[in-house]
Structure 1
Amino acid sequence: MKNKNFLQSLKCSFNGIVAYFKSERNAKIEFVFAILAFALGIIFKLSKTEFAVLSITIFFVIVAEMINTGLEKTLDLIDKDFNKDIKFIKDLSAGFVLLSAINSIIIFYLLFIDKILR
């Protein structure tokens, strides 16, 4: 059913985000790391540009994980038995999440290593 208006669409989107964070273990872990990263950003007085890079990085990981979760759940609805093509798609999607997480570690290092070592 199509949403009647923008506010209804926004509510559905917000519900999806809340459901993701309530139901997925990785979401809770990512949320803790995001809070810690933002706290470190405040402690080490990141510039606006550095905060922008940090925010983009954090959101990229969360969005990748949400897409992966949605894709996995959709594929599970299609075929609950082992299927090599579905396994390939799931592995590919998990690889996307892994690459985004590796990127976040690199960005964290670049933003914070000099500040931490001082």
Structure 2
Amino acid sequence: MFYKAVVESVRTFAIACWGGNAQESRKMKVNQTIKRANKMMKNIKESFAAVIVVVVVVVVVVLVVVVVVVVVVVVAAAAAVVVIVVVAAAAVVVVVVVVVLVVVVVVVVVVVVSASIALA
């Protein structure tokens, strides 16, 4: 629709410009002008296609970057959770070791005291 309107405008303009020439010459010039308009429209369509390709590539690159950033953030958060769990587990192990050592010391003290009472 737009294309036909452009061709008609060019045809009208060409007829208006070269109206004083002979009929055949006018027809030839109108046809040349229409061919130029067709070529220009083809170039415009190709330019739009190139712009669309560039926009699509930019959008895809941006989406890939966003996905990579989200994955890195999620992995970092998971690593932080793992570190917290490991630290908590280490704390539990330390508490268990301390409790076992206290129990061993109490048992040794009780055995030593019992032995010394028995020997006395």
Instruction: Using structure 1 for the length normalisation, give the TM-score.
Output: 0.33
Higher gyration radius (CA) = 2
Higher share in helix: 2
